[in-house]
Amino acid sequence: MAENEYVPLFETRQVKGPILFRCIAASILLGICLIVMYRIRYFSIGGKAERWTWIGLFLSELWFSFYWLLTTVCRWNAVIRIPFIHRLSQRFGKELPGIDIFVCTADPLLEPPSMVVNTVLSMMAYDYPPEKLSVYLSDDGGSNLTFYAMLEAANFSKTWLPFCKKFKVEPMSPEAYFRTASEPLNVEEWPSVKILIDGRDTNAVDIEGNPLPTLVYLAREKRPQYHHHFKAGAMNALIRISSRISNAPIILNVDCDMYSNNSESIKYSLCIFMDEEKGDEFGYVQFPQNFDNLTKNDIYGCSFRVIQKLEVKGLDANGGPCFIGTGCFHRREALCGKKYEKNFRFDLKKLNNTKVNERASLLEEICKVLASCTFEHNTTWGKEMGLIYGFPVEDIVTGLSVQCRGWKSVFLDPERDGFFGVAPITLLQLLVQHKRWTEGHLQVFLSKYCPLLYGYKKIPLKLRLAYCAYNLWAANCLATLYYVVVPCLCLLKGIKLFPKISSPWVLPFAYVAFSHHAYSLGELLWCGGTFLGWCNDQRMWLFKRTTSYLIASLETILKLLGYSQLAFVITTKVADEDVSKRYDQEMIEFGVASPMFNILATLAILNLLGSFGTMKKVTMHADKGFKVLDQFGLQILLCLVLVTMNLPVYQALFFRMDKGKMPSSVTYKSIIFALLACTLSVY
């Protein structure tokens, strides 16, 4: 090999199995076309109710078809990236760039300090030169507990880091240490910015004499008359103060519950950024969001297995994945608003040579100004610089704006997971989390940042469509609700909505439903899931579409009309012992009254009543039983499938006696609502 011959630091490969996926997708598309033909050819010409229910179902099917086509196009081409970290070490040795790591927390009750410190220590323990590593914690709660925990972490890191390096510990999160209580240090009234470990100080060493990474604590200033912009505001404050203290060209941001599980994640990302031929094109490198507390069958469908193994890799082939808010390595210039220039070369080694000579105490005073609530007034922060303000999903819109400035992004999924976080362990936590995500996505779609318009001539069409697939989560609620409610009520009234079982037109309906779900099951099994996990995933898909998506749509409309303000809901990371025990036993946790549970219970009882009503017709009129089954077979099957998916709801409503059961108030309300709907439908 010639001395100057280019050897890439990463390789791009096509995901296996594209031909099978495309063949099945093409056959499903053919089936959809036949369904459309059936709906048009056999348009109901009966009474007014028959016509409108037929039209509504046809529109729902058109929406499902459009959304399926949207997601299919995005997955048509999918790639994986293979980094070569041994080449990185051979080529650059100790001339690696500095890395600034941002960790954000907001509430010590919902995000326990012990968990936050676990994350911070795992970030400090990377297999990377410690003098080039700086970890920043933003504590928007300004909590004494969190600050004391950080002081303990700074002290404990002197022992923990050499232990990790000596024994190659992975993951690097010392949970066992924090099972025992420790007395807080005698500290009163600390400043908003505190350099707990100054990596420039020759005395900042561990018990073996090795240098320690820089560790900085931030509790930014907040005042009622100034909007603090939640996590986006915290991130922007960290960008400013880190630029004054360490100014590393690469920034890693993680949520406070997401600890490092792979000591070489930094090197994996640098294989992308430091590649001589293509590295300058990339603005950020996104790692998957994985969880270490999932049950065997993933009771709440939180694993994102198929999304991360297949869908996101489809985005990677068309301009890059979206920024998901955690586990992401950013190029500082890209995050700060710089546009990509094709012929401009970034020397990450030179960018890191800036030396800061001020004392730590002086830097703290300077950084207080940068973290003040008035600093951003009349500036471009939150608009053109840093994370974008005004959306519950500031990460998505920020990643989009970075890509629209010409940068590409990469999705890295190494064999050993890079990060682990905490998944919701109650159903309400899951639904509230998805409501916030869905609401944020819909707000992006309805704003000037709509990917179709904002990304026009800036990013590829497939990437814009991929963003829309997420932005339009909320729009699925109406079609799903229609399919859940109307066929059931039409059964009671005797309105036929699907072809007879004896008709050949039943074949496209059966094929599309079977092939789509069979292929999705195959994908989940291929990605490491289980059959029961797939069933749980389908159940949560139904629950989210009929509750989270619906309420997110309503709240977005209210916000556009000026009746609602932007709010940021923190998902709790703690639960009592009983809740955790039921979660480990894979029992869905209800336990509290909620409008979302009212909806779920009402829909479940409605389909149960519809099934009972139909079974009564079949059994009591034996001479007409086969005719009823032939005429309403698909509707009956749909009802029975929905009843099966809602079995945990029936258990919580009528049979469970533990604290995780459905509250009595929800049970009474849902029965009344369902009976009322059934009564009205027959008139």
**In total, how many domains does the chain have?**
2
Asked whether residue 668 is domain-assigned, the answer is yes
The whole-number pLDDT of residue 573 equals 59
The whole-number pLDDT of residue 598 equals 95
Q: In the Cβ-directed half-sphere of 123, how many Cα atoms lie within 13 Å?
A: 37
Nearest to 441 by CA among 277, 521, 556: 556
Q: Say yes or no: 412 and 519 in one domain.
A: no
CA distance 246 to 128: 16
Amino acid identity at 156: F
Name the residue with tokens 């709240």: 555
- Report the pLDDT averaged over residues 644-670: 94
Q: State which of 395, 423, 451 marks the end of a domain.
A: 423
231 a known binding residue?
yes
CA distance 551 to 587: 25
Q: Say yes or no: 591 and 484 in one domain.
A: yes
Burial class of residue 15 (count of CB atoms within 10 Å of its CB; 0-12, 13-18, 19+): middle
Q: State which of 423, 452, 482 marks the end of a domain.
A: 423
**pLDDT over 90 (residue 39):** yes
pLDDT digits (tens, 9 = 90+) for 207-244: 988 999 999 999 988 887 778 888 999 999 999 999 99
> What is the per-residue burial (b if ≥16 Cβ within 10 Å, else e) of 204-242?
bebeeeebbbbbbbbbbbeeeeeebbbbbbbbbbbbbbb
pLDDT digits (tens, 9 = 90+) for 252-289: 999 998 999 999 999 999 999 999 888 999 999 999 99
Q: Say yes or no: 539 and 412 in one domain.
A: no
Q: Say yes or no: 252 and 401 in one domain.
A: yes
The whole-number pLDDT of residue 225 equals 79
Give residue 346's pLDDT band: very low, low, confident or very high (50, 70, 90). Answer: confident
pTM of the full structure: 0.90
Q: Say yes or no: 199 and 306 in one domain.
A: yes
Asked whether residue 73 is domain-assigned, the answer is no
The whole-number pLDDT of residue 566 equals 60
- What's the CATH code of the domain at 356? 3.90.550.10
Q: Say yes or no: 165 and 278 in one domain.
A: yes
Distances, alpha carbon 197 to alpha carbons 11, 13, 140, 166, 215, in Å:
38, 42, 20, 21, 5
Asked whether residue 43 is domain-assigned, the answer is no
**pLDDT over 90 (residue 606):** yes
Q: Say yes or no: 103 and 170 in one domain.
A: yes
Asked whether residue 13 is domain-assigned, the answer is no
Q: What percent of the chain has pLDDT over 90?
A: 62
Give residue 641's pLDDT band: very low, low, confident or very high (50, 70, 90). Answer: very high
The mean-pLDDT minimum among 43-47, 73-77, 290-294, 371-375 falls in 43-47
Q: Give the residue numbers annotated as catalytic, written as ranges.
A: 140, 395
Asked whether residue 531 is domain-assigned, the answer is yes
Write out the two tokens for 489: 């009520």
Give residue 185's pLDDT band: very low, low, confident or very high (50, 70, 90). Answer: very low
Q: Cis before residue 171, ω within 30 degrees of 0?
A: yes
Give residue 4's pLDDT band: very low, low, confident or very high (50, 70, 90). Answer: low
The DSSP letter of residue 276 is T
* Domain span at 380: 83-423
Specify the DSSP element, H or E, that contains 11: strand 10-14
CA distance 403 to 411: 14
Strand runs labelled E in 207-353: 214-218, 250-255, 259-260, 282-286, 328-331
The whole-number pLDDT of residue 183 equals 42
Compute the mean pLDDT over every residue in the chain, rounded to the nearest whole number.
88
CA distance 397 to 445: 10
Instruction: Identify whether the C-beta of residue 503 lies closer than 8 Å to the C-beta of residue 42.
Output: no
CA distance 197 to 246: 12
417 a known binding residue?
no
Asked whether residue 538 is domain-assigned, the answer is yes
Q: Say yes or no: 483 and 363 in one domain.
A: no
The mean-pLDDT minimum among 32-36, 178-182, 558-562, 614-618 falls in 178-182
Asked whether residue 27 is domain-assigned, the answer is no
**pLDDT over 80 (residue 570):** no
Q: Say yes or no: 253 and 392 in one domain.
A: yes
Q: Say yes or no: 391 and 500 in one domain.
A: no
411: left (phi over 0), alpha (psi -120 to 50) or beta: beta
CA distance 421 to 326: 10
Instruction: Identify whether the C-beta of residue 468 lies closer than 8 Å to the C-beta of residue 452.
Output: yes
CA distance 453 to 502: 47
Instruction: Identify whether the C-beta of residue 426 lies closer than 8 Å to the C-beta of residue 584.
Output: no
Q: State which of 406, 423, 440 marks the end of a domain.
A: 423
Name the residue with tokens 């401009």: 344
Instruction: Identify whether the C-beta of residue 214 lies closer than 8 Å to the C-beta of residue 128.
Output: no
The whole-number pLDDT of residue 1 equals 45
The whole-number pLDDT of residue 191 equals 45
Nearest to 586 by CA among 642, 639, 521, 539: 539
Give residue 489's pLDDT band: very low, low, confident or very high (50, 70, 90). Answer: very high
Instruction: Identify whether the C-beta of residue 506 lies closer than 8 Å to the C-beta of residue 634.
Output: yes
**pLDDT over 90 (residue 560):** no
CB atoms within 10 A of CB 170: 16
Per-residue DSSP letters for 58-93?
HHHHHHHHHHHHHHHHHTSS-EEEEE-HHHHHHHHT
111 a known binding residue?
yes
Asked whether residue 212 is domain-assigned, the answer is yes
Q: Say yes or no: 348 and 477 in one domain.
A: no
Q: Can you tell me whether residue 445 is helix, strand or coil?
A: helix
Q: Say yes or no: 477 and 404 in one domain.
A: no
CA distance 317 to 312: 9
Burial class of residue 395 (count of CB atoms within 10 Å of its CB; 0-12, 13-18, 19+): buried
CA distance 651 to 660: 11
The mean-pLDDT minimum among 57-71, 167-181, 286-300, 612-626 falls in 167-181
Which residues, including other chains, have CB under 8 Å from residue 315's CB and lie 6 or more apart?
Answer: 74, 321, 322, 411, 463, 466
Phi, psi at residue 459, to the nearest 5°?
A: -130, 160
CA distance 511 to 279: 45
Instruction: Identify whether the C-beta of residue 561 lies closer than 8 Å to the C-beta of residue 609.
Output: no
255 a known binding residue?
yes
Instruction: Identify whether the C-beta of residue 136 lies closer than 8 Å to the C-beta of residue 100.
Output: yes
